[in-house]
Amino acid sequence: MKDAIRSFLEDGGDFESTALSLYRWQRENNPEYDRFCGDVNVRAWTDIPAVPTTLFRDLSLTCFPVEDATHVFRTSGTTAGSRGAIHLMDTEIYTLSARRHAEKCLGPLPKKGVSLAPSAVDSSLGHMCAEFVPGMPNFFSSEEGVHSSEAWAALSAMAKEGEALFVPGTAFAFADLLEEDHAPVVVPAGTVVMVTGGFKGRRREVPATILHQQIATRLPGAQIVGEYGMSELASQLWAIPAGSAFLPPPWMRVVAVDPWSGEVSTRGVLRFFDLANHQTVLAIETQDVGVVMPDGRVKLEGRLEGAIPRGCSLTVEEANA
């Protein structure tokens, strides 16, 4: 099945038939998912049962013996005992998916960068950023939060070298960086600032539009983009510019459903059908609310009322609590 998914990512294909084939294969190889699906009748990809993200706290949901996993990504924003865990035998498809869609949306990625993203080995976001720009310095730690002075110094020094930079970070990380009293740093042409994660937290709230304006003022010349992803998904969605609707890759479909009836709607709880999730389950239901546009792009509106806070930005929030 892996070869079929790789072929789709590289050359495209028919989403319906590939999704149904992957669904059948996952039911045969993922006993926990097979029990979850029960006797459901699946005729189209929209019928494929979607696993709630919260279930990853209790089940491994792998298409292989979990003891064979070589990588574990954990969800953020909850206590260690209740964090969801996504087990993978390898990250080949994950990395291929992330890079191909990022390059489709952004063009060739800069070869240098400054990271404000989590660097923990179990962070899917950190893994993606390190794959995009190997070896770039990181100025966030889960223990101490953002090292703002050092980050500004690195940005200033690298900007003078004249090469485009990749500057990924969570919303709260950038909010913390901007609190530092530092003069604007004019960045080279082609520089990409990637903002991900939500804007709500226990300590403060920063509206997205204001944060993006502040980044543009302090890092003039940068292209500011949004990224949406989660540990439970192998693929990401990009918003260019930041604040616009998010574009999924060709190997992903998104639908909104009524949280009570489960009926497909224009606005509702988001379900993701991600072919790159071949090692776990391809259909995931989140507690994120949004609107799916006719062209497949997604406008995020926040979290379902009463949902447990989660997301990469909460990692920064906890570090600074």
CATH 3.40.50.12780 fits 1-321, yes or no: yes
Cβ count within 10 A of residue 110:
19
Structure tokens that stand for 77 in this block: 């924003």
- Give the model's pLDDT for residue 141: 82
> Given the structure tokens 């543009």, which residue do they identify?
216
Give Cα separations from 33 to 69, 72, 127 (angstroms). Answer: 17, 18, 26
- Give the model's pLDDT for residue 314: 41
Q: Which residues partner with 8 through β-bridges?
A: none
- Provide the whole-model pTM: 0.91
**Can you tell me the distance from the alpha carbon of 49 to that of 53, in angstroms, rounded to the nearest whole number?**
13
- Report the relative pairing of strands 267-274 and 252-257 from DSSP bridges: antiparallel
Residue 284 host element (H or E): strand 283-292
Mutual orientation of helices 2-11 and 92-106 as an angle, nearest 10°?
A: 10
- Give the model's pLDDT for residue 82: 72
- Give the model's pLDDT for residue 77: 55
Domains of the chain, residue spans = 1-321
Mean pLDDT by 10 residues, the chain (321 residues): 96 97 98 96 96 93 96 72 86 96 97 94 93 95 87 97 96 93 97 83 73 97 97 97 97 94 90 97 95 96 62 42 41
Structure tokens that stand for 288 in this block: 């994120």
* Amino acid (1-letter code) at residue 205: E
- Give the model's pLDDT for residue 300: 93
**Can you tell me the distance from the alpha carbon of 214 to that of 317, in angstroms, rounded to the nearest whole number?**
19
Cβ count within 10 A of residue 67:
8
* Amino acid (1-letter code) at residue 288: D
